[in-house]
Structure 1
């Protein structure tokens, strides 16, 4: 299955969906229309029982150089216009962070500004050696979004978050992994295969566990300190689900589990 939209390409291959930014001539700069369409893509993935993981990547040499600044004079020229634009960005980030199905950013080249913001909103980030990362609001006189700042701090800590946001300086993939921004770094010619192997692992696990724990972790990142009724419901539902019974039976029989939860 393949769907084309201005600025990106949405495809599905079995259990894996892929959202590819397709503006390589602009280093995959993200337009207002692209920001606005991302929640629809995530909702489609969440609603499709056959899809287990969403991979985000960029066509050509780069993941994304950030928001398309050429639109700013028209779309962010007044306070009201900037607020409208920011709502689209916030909506895209919120959709990705709220997704119970895992999201994986597969990164090559530049991952800067809004591109880095998108990657941080994903659950996992894998990058090719030579990739570059940066978040540059201080170069534009912009104060970064609250939720994206919180998520960045949760990944790299306040000191490294301040380095990114206050300096606007770029770091390479090796340094990005050292500070916790990346899960792993691979040679460029191994990125696709290595990411695919991890994605296959995610798809093979109990989806009741994966999606339930993903939701609980997001609540913790958002500042929740204790379990609530939703957490209790997630855990109780898993305990009475088919995946739990299959997981225990497979463990006792010393065989691989065959999970059926969609």
Structure 2
């Protein structure tokens, strides 16, 4: 059974995360389905805006990467060719603006998904938590850069170190959300904005999206620095703490980290 729903109406495409059994976790199946949908929409000249959302009334927009599908120790859980990384690049490079319509909480890698969208609109039930520290996993470089681009280094450090959720009100203050509206207004507000974007020049928007993407990524990083950061990550995902973090999550208990 498909884990997403898709539609196109009035030049606005929609991808709805639709797997409540796992709180819309970003399983390999869901990620592959989203990649296929984005590929299909990318060839549709009628599509001028993409909205990524969850069904109305949901409590969890997405619970993030499916923990059951994390690799065994010794393998990077977020390598370049991982389906989640492929999806993030596909959203960032999609030819038209992408809006995240966020009702409910956003966890882990789903924060990254909402951050790579061009615009994020939330409601009072929205919250954001990045939780690799609870699993003994350091986040990958591109994901950290997404956080830096959106919230800056200080808020990014707080979110990564504490793994505690940021409320909708604070998310608006620090720039995670563009707009905060009531639950009742969320859908109408989002699609009204999508409609206004669709009425503008699609070519201009596509060019500006690519310009903005390239300029946002214009942070110099020396090759030796990149390799050093990668080496730091390998220390963690080869560790006993990584295995303990996964076991504790699956056993629904607090992890006991040894630092080894």
TM category, shorter: 0.7 to 0.9
Task: State how many pairs are aligned.
Answer: 218
What is the aligned counterpart of 2:41 among 40, 45, 51? 45
- 2:102 is the counterpart of 1:104: no
The CA distance in 2 between the partners of 1:145 and 1:81, in whole Å, is 9
Q: Which TM-score applies when normalising by structure 2?
A: 0.79
Q: Which contiguous aligned blocks of 4+ residues in structure 1 show a shift greater than 3 angstroms?
A: 80-86
Q: How far apart in 2 are the matches of 1:110 and 1:90?
A: 21
- Which stretches in structure 1 are left out of the alignment for 5+ residues? 226-262
The Cα offsets for residues 206-256 of structure 1, whole Å up to 9 and x where unpaired, read as 11111100000100111179xxxxxxxxxxxxxxxxxxxxxxxxxxxxxxx
Query: Once the 2 structures are TM-superposed, how far is the Cα of residue 26 of structure 1 from its aligned partner?
Result: 2.2
Aligned to 2:182: 187
Partners of 2:212 and 2:39 lie apart in 1 by 20
Offset of residue 81 of structure 1: 7.3
Of 65, 68, 71, the residue aligned with 2:69 is 71
Q: How far apart are the structure 2 equivalents of 1:41 and 1:79? A: 32
Indicate the residue corresponding to 1:259 in structure 2. none
Bigger radius of gyration? 1
Tell me what 1:15 maps to: 11
Which of 208, 211, 215 is 1:216 aligned to? 211
Of residues 92, 112, 116, the one that matches 2:111 is 116
Contact map agreement 2:3 2:33 (CA 8 A) in 1 = no
Higher relative CO (Cα under 8 Å, sequence separation at least 6) belongs to: 2
**Unaligned stretches of 5+ residues in structure 2:** 221-260
Q: 1:165 aligns with which of 160, 181, 187?
A: 160
Is 1:151 aligned to 2:128, yes or no?
no
Given the superposition, is the C-alpha separation of residues 95 and 187 from structure 1 closer, same or farther in structure 2, using an over 3 Å criterion? same
